Amino acid sequence: MANARFSLSPAAGERVGVKAICLAAAVLVVSCATGGAAGGASANQVGLPAPEITVQRMSGKPVSLSNYRGQVVLLDIWATWCGPCKQELPMLDDIASRLHHRGVEVLAVSVDQERENVVKFLGARGHWALTIAHDSKGEIADRLQPDKMPTSYIIDRQGIIRYVNYGFVPGDAPAIERRLVDLAGDGDGRPGKHH
Confidence of residue 49 (pLDDT cuts 50, 70, 90): very high
119-163 pLDDT, tens digit per residue, is: 999 888 878 999 999 997 888 888 888 888 999 999 999 999 999
- Cα separation, 105 vs 169, whole angstroms: 21
Give residue 50's pLDDT: 92
Among 79-88, 120-129, 161-170, the least confident range: 120-129
SS3 73: strand
Query: Strands, E, within the chain: which ranges?
Result: 37-38, 54-57, 62-64, 72-78, 104-110, 131-134, 151-155, 161-166
Domain residue extents for the chain: 18-184
List of E strands, 52-180:
54-57, 62-64, 72-78, 104-110, 131-134, 151-155, 161-166
Give the range with max mean pLDDT: 35-49, 110-124, 154-168: 154-168
Residues 184 and 35: their CA atoms lie apart, in Å, by 27
What's the pLDDT at 124? 81
> How buried is residue 184: exposed, middle or buried, by Cβ count under 10 Å (0-12/13-18/19+)?
buried
DSSP per position, 93-121: HHHHHHHGGGTEEEEEEE--S-HHHHHHH
Q: What is the structure's pLDDT at 20?
A: 36
Percent of the chain with pLDDT over 90: 53
Q: Which of 108, 109, 66, 100 is nearest to 181 (CA)?
A: 100
> In this structure, are residues 157 and 81 in contact, taking their beta carbons and an 8 Å threshold?
no
Separation of alpha carbons 154 and 134, rounded Å? 19
Strands 37-38, 161-166: pairing kind: antiparallel
Indicate the pLDDT class of residue 42, thresholds 50, 70 and 90: low
Question: pTM to 2 decimals?
Answer: 0.75
- Apex CA 118: angle with CA 62 and CA 157, to 5°? 45
- Rounded to whole angstroms, the Cα distance separating 48 from 162 reads 8
The pLDDT score that the predictor gives to residue 1 is: 35
Residue 168 has pLDDT above 90, yes or no: yes
Pick the more confident residue, 13 or 75: 75
Query: Distance between CA 2 and CA 35 in Å, rounded?
Result: 10
Class of domain 18-184: alpha beta
Backbone angles phi, psi at 137, to 5 degrees: -85, -10
Predicted pLDDT at 82: 93
